[in-house]
Amino acid sequence: MMVIPFFQHASTSGETPLPGKMNPRIDRSGSNETSKVPRLGSIVGTASMAGFGKAVEILDTLGCLMTTLSSDGGFVSRTKTKGCKISILAFEVANTILKGASIMQSLSEDTVTYFKQVVLPSEGVQNLVSSEMSELMRIAANDKREELKIFSQEIVRFGNRCKDPQWHNLDRYFVKLESENAPQKQLKETSIAEMQKLMSLVQRTTDLYHELHALDRFEQEYFSRINGKGHTDRIEKGGNIQIVKLELKTQSSYVKSLKKRSLWSKTLEEVTFALDFCFVF
């Protein structure tokens, strides 16, 4: 189970929102530069790939251990079950991933050091919260545990929605792991690599969020033009229905492509496994 060290207090009491307001744009290059999402900085940007073969073995081992506790406390054997596509839940899942990324960053060595040497001794913290270092650490630890609790509850909720029963009742699995010690260093590197992959999917999902709004705009323009109610500047300036139809078709194809490359097309089983791995280690 993830150990709570001396760390930075980073509140996640609310959802980490995906961009809320879309600026219309058409970018067919597939570039990610137009959508901004939080980065993991040092904790993900340079994830070590050394010993990756062993990391894969560890992932396989973890998968084999992920049997499901039945209602009477027994274990249900693993069976092959077709995964549950994430689809519209992609944006909710992306928010959970961002929350996990924020927690991982707050537990990085650099952040912990900065928190201990700069934040806690600062005059503001000492005057407004407490001058006792032990008390400050206790408060910070409780806050971080609460963040982890919320994060784990979201993983459990996604797991319970999976078709594969091995991912149900993960809360019992987390409780079981509390008394077990895992080899931290190797697994930490692997969890960072897993989070890096998830963040790539989050980036594409953010792009999808913007482009779905753009697609809606094109659809409104197209049907308004058909009904003779085109009021947008572009149509009033002479854009004809064939141009609008072509743009709608192009945008629709782009959205379809983004869906295939984002969380939209992944299964809850895949993402739950990765989130579970990142949470545990």
pLDDT tens-digit readout, 139-194? 999 999 999 999 999 999 999 999 999 999 999 888 877 766 655 667 788 888 99
- 227 occurs within a structural domain: no
- 258 occurs within a structural domain: no
Confidence label for 228 from pLDDT (cuts 50, 70 and 90) = confident
- 171 occurs within a structural domain: yes
**Beta carbons within 8 Å of 193's beta carbon, 6+ residues apart:** 47, 48, 49, 52, 55
pLDDT at 45: 38
Q: How would you write 215-273 as a 3-class SS string?
A: HHHHHHHHHHHHCCCCCCHHHHCCCCHHHHHHHHHHHHHHHHHHHHHCHHHCEHHHHHH
- 188 occurs within a structural domain: yes
* pLDDT of 118 above 70: yes
pLDDT at 277: 85
* pLDDT of 76 above 70: no
The domain total for the chain is 1
pLDDT at 127: 92
pLDDT at 174: 84
Pick from 57-71, 111-125, 202-216, 258-272: least confident: 57-71
Overall average pLDDT of the 216-236 stretch: 75
- 146 occurs within a structural domain: yes
- 72 occurs within a structural domain: yes
Question: Can you give the residue range of the structural domain that contains 134?
Answer: 42-198+264-280
